[in-house]
């Protein structure tokens, strides 16, 4: 069965209207997509929560080791980790009642995890760049 991830511009735009984005795999290294894309989102007013167990602070914000450690409400979980790690990240997102959408960046996809998220009533975007979509649809 094909996974019915979010594809329409209207649906993507609706996800981009959410305010709080937990970035799993957020990087402290400028020049890396996992740093520059969250920085772009931060500069546009999103509440970016870096999730990275190997850094103390990214973008001037304290990092969290995992989604479970994020105390704030999360609207979107944005994933910058290899596809084989997506399943565990989605499971952690589904343990929270607040996550409305899971977004995997370009080149990152796990259809089984996406299906679990969809069955749990969450929106899913796979293999798309959040910055590119924001520039195209919102900026």
Task: State the total domains in the chain.
Answer: 1
Residue 33 is assigned to a structural domain of this protein: yes
Residue 85 is assigned to a structural domain of this protein: yes
Render pLDDT for 96-119 as a digit per residue (tens, 0 to 9). 999 999 999 999 999 999 999 999
Look-up of token digits 């069955």: 119
Exposure string for 92-125, b = 16+ CB within 10 A, e = fewer? bbbeeeebbbbbbbeebbbeebbbbbbeeebbbb
Domain containing 94 — which CATH number? 3.40.50.720
Residue 4 is assigned to a structural domain of this protein: no
Render pLDDT for 43-54 as a digit per residue (tens, 0 to 9). 999 999 999 999
Residue 124 is assigned to a structural domain of this protein: yes
pLDDT category, 4, cuts 50, 70, 90?
low
The three-state secondary structure class of 104 is strand
Residue 123 is assigned to a structural domain of this protein: yes
Residue 3 is assigned to a structural domain of this protein: no
The three-state secondary structure class of 122 is coil
Residue 1 is assigned to a structural domain of this protein: no
Render pLDDT for 39-98 as a digit per residue (tens, 0 to 9). 999 999 999 999 999 999 999 999 999 999 999 999 999 999 999 999 999 999 999 999
Residue 109, domain extent = 9-137
Residue 75 is assigned to a structural domain of this protein: yes
What CA–CA distances, in Å, run from 129 to 54, 60, 102?
Answer: 23, 23, 12
């Amino acid at each position: 069965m094909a996974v019915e991830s979010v594809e329409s511009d209207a649906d993507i735009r609706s996800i981009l209207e959410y305010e709080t984005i937990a970035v799993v795999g957020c990087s402290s290294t400028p020049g890396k997509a996992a740093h520059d894309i969250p920085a772009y989102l931060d500069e546009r007013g999103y509440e970016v929560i870096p999730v990275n167990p190997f850094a103390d602070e990214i973008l001037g914000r304290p990092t969290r080791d995992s989604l479970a450690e994020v105390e704030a409400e999360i609207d979107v979980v944005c994933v910058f980790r290899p596809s084989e790690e997506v399943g565990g990240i989605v499971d952690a997102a589904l343990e929270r009642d607040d996550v409305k959408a899971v977004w995997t960046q370009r080149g990152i996809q796990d259809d089984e995890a996406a299906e679990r998220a969809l069955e749990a009533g969450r929106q899913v975007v796979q293999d798309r760049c959040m910055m590119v979509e924001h520039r195209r649809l919102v900026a």
